[in-house]
């Protein structure tokens, strides 16, 4: 008997595989196809011959922990203690898994807001806890009334994802006020704030949970260098959390991975001296605008995109098929891969929406758009 009977192969694996089999342009799984910053690859090349090949301390390479603390201070004016409040992880995925398994107990409930990224539910189930899927509003803002109704003495954690994959939505000041008000009623609920796209935001200002005084003592914030620095294959990210929670998280981390690969940690530590998060934001804003411009005149209706490198589009003017079938046909007939949004819903709700990843070089975006405009 499976421990996870309803967990299927991730849609990102399924679509990337199919894209590759059909030689399609892959705008499905979220990863960039343009070269990594040469300053970073030069650092890595140089490090290969240096003495950086052994275990780092369990929480992370100490200079990297200090640089993360400095980045958190610069970005969010939050002071985090490098030794006690930061943990370097094998990507955000491991940070999320470790956090949930360390903090959630049997029969407790974890609120997941739908549509949601796919890595939250499995660790909750493995804790013998209960994922409670709560729908976002039609415009993808949280419905705090419904969230409030879903909370009870059993609720251990609310997971928020800001900026939001797949919709690109960013939480507003009023959302944080509602969340904080709600948490006053439930002193035991923790917040897991997945902010892997924190540096990919556009007109709207990203408000990190790390800026919220009222969340400080009960919130774990998840970051991903993979997303921020176009190195998804490195699988490296970090958590910030108050010491009492971090202590528990580290108990699991030490036996799950113990420490994260050393060269990547040293390289990123050096790179943080030179990289500008403003440049990343600017580059992606140009990509978003370029891609949206290229699709202007197609029969896809583009949804707003406030952050992330994903563009959600409605194909309801094109076809009545369900979104999974439509995405499959997009690959086989038009040579472009996208992600069906229904897979982000616990109940598979089909709204005739698909997600394109625009973290691609301009030639790729141009060719993909050319094909999409023929539909």
Find the largest Cα–Cα distance for the chain.
59
Name the helix (H) or strand (E) containing 244: helix 243-256
115 or 142: whose CB is closer to ligand GLN?
115
274, two tokens: 């030179």
| Interacting partner of 314 out of ligand PMP, ligand GLN, none (Cβ under 5 to 8 A depending on kind) | none
| Interacting partner of 92 out of ligand GLN, ligand PMP, none (Cβ under 5 to 8 A depending on kind) | ligand PMP
117 or 326: whose CB is closer to ligand PMP?
117
Tell me the DSSP string of 300-329: PEEPP--BSSEEEEE-TTT--S-HHHHHHH
259, two tokens: 């420490």
Task: Find the residue with minimal CB distance to ligand PMP.
Answer: 91
How many Å separate Cα 374 from the centre of its chain? 31
32 or 82: whose CB is closer to ligand GLN?
32
Rounded CA-CA distance 143/113 in Å is 9
82 or 166: whose CB is closer to ligand PMP?
166
151 or 264: whose CB is closer to ligand GLN?
264
| Interacting partner of 161 out of ligand GLN, ligand PMP, none (Cβ under 5 to 8 A depending on kind) | ligand PMP
| 10-to-25, 117, 249, 256, 308 alpha-carbon distances in Å | 19, 10, 25, 21, 19
In the complex, the smallest distance separating the C-beta of residue 260 from ligand PMP, rounded to whole angstroms, is 11
The binding site for ligand GLN (CB under 6 A) comprises 10, 12, 29-30, 165
For 294: left if phi > 0, alpha if psi spans -120 to 50, otherwise beta; the answer is: alpha
| Interacting partner of 364 out of ligand GLN, ligand PMP, none (Cβ under 5 to 8 A depending on kind) | none
Task: Find the residue with minimal CB distance to ligand GLN.
Answer: 30
In the complex, the smallest distance separating the C-beta of residue 73 from ligand GLN, rounded to whole angstroms, is 27
The binding site for ligand PMP (CB under 6 A) comprises 30, 91-93, 117, 119, 161, 165, 194, 196, 224, 226-227, 232, 235, 237
Rounded CA-CA distance 163/193 in Å is 10
29 or 155: whose CB is closer to ligand PMP?
29
266, two tokens: 């040293």
Q: Which residue has the tokens 């790729």?
A: 364
| Interacting partner of 12 out of ligand PMP, ligand GLN, none (Cβ under 5 to 8 A depending on kind) | ligand GLN
How many Å separate Cα 187 from the centre of its chain? 26
In the complex, the smallest distance separating the C-beta of residue 100 from ligand PMP, rounded to whole angstroms, is 12
| Interacting partner of 288 out of ligand GLN, ligand PMP, none (Cβ under 5 to 8 A depending on kind) | none
| Interacting partner of 91 out of ligand PMP, ligand GLN, none (Cβ under 5 to 8 A depending on kind) | ligand PMP
Say if residues 182 and 213 touch (Cβ distance below 8 Å). no
In the complex, the smallest distance separating the C-beta of residue 49 from ligand GLN, rounded to whole angstroms, is 32
In the complex, the smallest distance separating the C-beta of residue 227 from ligand PMP, rounded to whole angstroms, is 5
Say if residues 350 and 322 touch (Cβ distance below 8 Å). yes
User: Could you tell me the end-to-end alpha-carbon distance of the chain, in angstroms, rounded to an integer?
Assistant: 44
61 or 120: whose CB is closer to ligand PMP?
120
Rounded CA-CA distance 215/238 in Å is 18
């Amino acid at each position: 008997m499976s421990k996870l009977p309803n967990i299927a192969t991730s849609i990102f694996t399924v679509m990337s595989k199919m894209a590759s089999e059909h030689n399609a342009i892959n705008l499905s799984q979220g990863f960039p196809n343009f070269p990594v910053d040469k300053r970073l690859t030069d650092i890595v090349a140089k490090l290969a011959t240096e003495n950086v090949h052994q275990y780092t301390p369990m929480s992370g390479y100490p200079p990297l922990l200090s640089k993360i603390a400095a980045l958190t201070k610069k970005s969010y004016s939050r002071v985090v203690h490098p030794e006690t409040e930061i943990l370097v992880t094998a990507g955000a995925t491991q940070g999320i898994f470790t956090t949930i398994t360390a903090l959630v107990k049997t029969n407790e409930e974890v609120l997941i807001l739908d549509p949601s990224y796919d890595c939250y539910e499995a660790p909750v189930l493995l804790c013998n806890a209960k994922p409670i899927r709560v729908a976002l509003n039609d415009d993808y803002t949280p419905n705090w009334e419904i969230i409030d109704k879903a909370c009870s003495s059993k609720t251990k954690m609310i997971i928020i994802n800001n900026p939001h994959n797949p919709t690109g939505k960013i939480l507003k000041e009023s959302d944080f006020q509602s969340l904080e008000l709600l948490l006053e009623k439930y002193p035991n609920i923790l917040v897991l704030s997945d902010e892997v796209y924190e540096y990919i935001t556009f007109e709207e200002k990203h408000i990190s949970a790390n800026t919220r005084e009222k969340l400080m003592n009960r919130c774990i914030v998840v970051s991903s260098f993979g997303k921020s620095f176009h190195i998804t294959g490195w699988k490296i990210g970090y958590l910030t959390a108050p010491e009492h929670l971090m202590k528990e998280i580290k108990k699991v981390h030490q036996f799950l991975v113990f420490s994260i690969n050393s060269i990547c940690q040293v390289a990123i530590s050096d790179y943080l001296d030179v990289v500008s998060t403003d440049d990343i934001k600017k580059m992606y804003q140009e990509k978003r605008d370029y891609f949206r411009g290229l699709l202007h005149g197609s029969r896809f209706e583009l949804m707003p995109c406030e952050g992330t490198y994903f563009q959600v589009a409605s194909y309801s003017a094109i076809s009545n098929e369900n979104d999974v079938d439509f995405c499959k046909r997009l690959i086989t007939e038009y040579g472009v891969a996208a992600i069906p949004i229904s897979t982000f819903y616990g109940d598979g709700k089909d709204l005739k929406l698909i997600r394109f990843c625009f973290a691609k070089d301009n030639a790729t975006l141009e060719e993909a758009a050319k094909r999409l405009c023929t539909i």
